[in-house]
Chains A and B, each alone.
Chain A
């Protein structure tokens, strides 16, 4: 309970004005003093608000009625709250007390009367009803929220744009955030959000538009929205392959110490760091493979094709915890695979990595390795010589996380490669990352 007793000069002034001969002045003083006293749980705030309500001043009366409705709702007096809410509905007018209409609409939406809420917001948006552009922008934002829930994206985008144009700085940040999220939703395959008319249909353009909005939100330095926007902006940059920019933005999020987004940024930064380490390991692995005496590789083909396919694909690797499976010992494998690369493992110590082993024809088999097995071996790469012999020739990518992928040396028309391409998915917590190689190996 609040215990504030240090009333300032305004309280004394309102007390004086209660006795004013001007009814409107007295009513306004009753409203202000009543709300104030209710807020500090002191005095007879409700009585003063009732007095303000009786003054027949529509501006004062509507606000007093709504204040009483809220006060009784907070006190658990639902019936009284409903009575005063009905009173507020009757008295309030869009052009006189738009704030009360906004509050009523919000209340309708909260209790599931969405159509009624939409109508109330719409009345505020009607041309020339409300002079205050910020109030109109607020109504537009709130209405867009309801329309997004109803999947009326075209209208929602228009309203969000209005909120961005006319709203107060804080509201603009919220509206930009919603619009950017909507744009991003349009670019994902799983999303049911269709690109609204008037927006670019190209996914890259949509993402870039969202990135611009996120950048503008960052500039507002909103305590919650700015770190969130930066985190999402980093995701866009990362997806575009601009890891340097992504890390820069993630670092900003980390430094913001935001309780939600800073730990998320830290995790993603760690991932990126490991990815960089992993890239170096892949490069080194490829270099060694190319010079390995056991295999006679077409070096130019390997470099040209494999690396182009391998590295970008690995960068798209999802982080996951592979499903449990029986341990597979490579040395017992009877699969005459020419070349295997296992480079990515993720998850807790008992997690397992999945890779694919191909015989170079149409037989392939999934193998799974326990992470600790890999870690003990300190390898990210394995190489088969085609005679069931496995020898390590890779390097540790990092101590925590390793990417898994498989590099198979197959013929250019490898049906397995095609099969693996379709298997790149997250399923049951397991992520299978495959790398197609179109290069050929000449034994």
Chain B
């Protein structure tokens, strides 16, 4: 778990004034939404950003939207519920607009984040199952990271039994791979300059980087990635010289040394996917990367993968969780589908209010 994701209240998003509301309305219309849907989406966004609590329910948002008109509290709540649950309001135009915006702004990497939404408590750095063994629910997101920019690309909310250990769950793994598959399909139409950027995530994202099965799945999809790892990770073996100690179970901190060029980036062997490299970054943190060079079969790759891995390892994930910033995980008590819609609505309207969104998606059905 990324500690920064839960530290303190979420940053305040600025509620739109009437002029901005008109602008947002036009933007949503340009994406193909009806005027009525656009109005409801803007009301919803306004209620979320005005809400002062980190976590909120639809009834609370209804009350916020109906401020000064308390009799309309339930009306707003029902409208919002329809926004989040009505299948007729497609999120596809939002998704494509986010992708197009990211492409225009330039993408260096794709950031994967997994954040708990509900029913999981983090206490004293330990994950405790929710009350009465209720299901955990994680919000998995992809974001395009450029030079000083970060744009959400896709969201999915997955539900899983309460974890009994710190490893990534099958549901989280499936959610990440589902988003990646969608991204791969998308970039066939909306291509990024230089091809699909590498994936990366911070250490401790529910053990995302420590999950060999997930990394293997990404490797099979031909993805480049660099995942942060904790220094005490032991499940990496590295390409060793025959005169190096064969002592078993050494941690990354023992295998790697950021100050030694020969030991800062080392080819990983063992149980993980082929072609991975363990990296000690100059700041002393650790990562595992799988560089993709597109070499012909049978060619000698030499030191090029190592150099590419070092380059990947120099990239760092932003400190703050995207879903925390966008309050995308604040909605409580909703279904996974509703949480996903909520995340998209907040993402798209935040970018619109910052006048960064590129509209050009398909009209909703």
Please report A residues at the B interface, Cβ cutoff 8 Å.
Answer: 2-12, 14, 32, 35-36, 39-40, 63, 99-100, 102-103, 106, 134-135, 138, 141-142, 168-171, 174, 218-219, 221-223, 226-227, 230, 252-253, 255-259, 262
Contact = CB atoms under 8 A, between A and B. Distances in A.
A99 B299 CA distance: 34
Contact of B302 (A8, A9, A171, A262): A262
A39 B303 contact: no
B230 A8 contact: yes
B306 interface: yes
B204 A6 contact: yes
Contacts of A36: 231-232, 251, 253-254
B247 A4 contact: no
B245 interface: yes
A179 to B, nearest CB: 13
Given A32-B249, A221-B300, A252-B300, A40 B231 contact: yes
Contacts of B241: 174
B267 interface: yes
Contacts of A7: 230-232
B35 interface: no
B301 A221 contact: yes
B242 interface: yes
Residue from B233, B234, B242, B301 having most chain A Cβ neighbours under 10 A: B242
A230 B242 CA distance: 21
Given A99-B246, A102-B245, A4 B253 contact: yes
A200 to B, nearest CB: 27
What 6 pairs across the A-B complex have the smallest Cβ distances?
A8-B230, A256-B302, A4-B284, A39-B253, A256-B300, A3-B284
B269 to A, nearest CB: 7
Contacts of B207: 9
A10 B203 contact: no
Contacts, number: 122
B258 A2 contact: yes
A432 to B, nearest CB: 37
A2 B239 contact: no
Interface in B260-307: 267, 269, 283-286, 298-306
A371 to B, nearest CB: 35
A224 B277 CA distance: 15
Interface residues of B, number: 44
A408 B303 CA distance: 50
B246 A227 contact: no
B248 interface: yes
Most B CB within 10 A of own CB, among A36, A258, A259, A262: A36
B299 A255 contact: yes
A257 B299 CA distance: 11
Contacts of B298: 219
Contact of B203 (A6, A100, A169, A252): A6
Nearest to A31: B249
Contacts of A135: 246
A252 B302 CA distance: 10
14 contacts: A2-B257, A4-B285, A6-B285, A9-B166, A138-B246, A142-B243, A170-B240, A170-B242, A171-B242, A218-B300, A222-B239, A223-B306, A256-B302, A258-B300
Given A3-B283, A170-B240, A103 B303 contact: no
A227 B254 CA distance: 28
Contacts of A63: 247
Contacts of A11: 230, 232
A35 B247 CA distance: 11
B183 to A, nearest CB: 28
A2 B284 contact: yes
Nearest to B247: A99
A74 to B, nearest CB: 11
Nearest to B303: A223
B81 interface: no
A258 B231 CA distance: 30
Nearest to A63: B247
Interface string B125-169: 100000000000000000000000000000000000000001000
Contacts of B250: 35
Nearest to B251: A36
Contacts of B203: 6, 8
A227 B285 contact: no
Contacts of A141: 242
Nearest to A14: B232
Contacts of B253: 2, 4, 36, 39-40
Among B229, B239, B259, B267, find the residue whose CB has the most chain A CB atoms closer than 10 A. Answer: B239
A4 B302 contact: no
A171 B250 CA distance: 19
Contact of A102 (B204, B246, B259): B246
Contact of A223 (B229, B240, B267, B284): B267
A184 B248 CA distance: 36
A142 B246 CA distance: 13
A253 B300 CA distance: 7
Nearest to B234: A10
A8 B300 contact: no
A218 B299 CA distance: 9
Contacts of A218: 300
A6 to B, nearest CB: 5
A10 B233 contact: yes
A12 B125 contact: yes
Most chain-A Cβ atoms within 10 A of its Cβ — which of B203, B207, B232, B253? B232
A230 B300 contact: yes
A302 B299 CA distance: 45
B245 A103 contact: yes
Contacts of A4: 231, 253, 284-286
A170 B269 contact: yes
Contacts of B286: 4
Given A3-B283, A170-B269, A258 B230 contact: no
A226 B301 CA distance: 9
A8 B233 contact: yes
Contacts of B232: 7-11, 14, 36
Given A4-B253, A39-B253, A169-B269, 7 more contacts: A7-B232, A36-B254, A99-B248, A219-B298, A222-B239, A223-B302, A257-B303
A372 B45 CA distance: 81
A11 B239 CA distance: 24
B282 to A, nearest CB: 10
A3 B254 CA distance: 13
A413 to B, nearest CB: 52
Residue of A8, A32, A168 with most partner-chain B CB within 10 A: A8
Contacts of A252: 299-300
Contacts of A35: 250-251, 254
A40 B230 CA distance: 12
Contacts of A39: 231, 251, 253-254
User: Which of B210, B247, B285, B286 has the most chain A CB within a 10 Å cutoff?
Assistant: B247
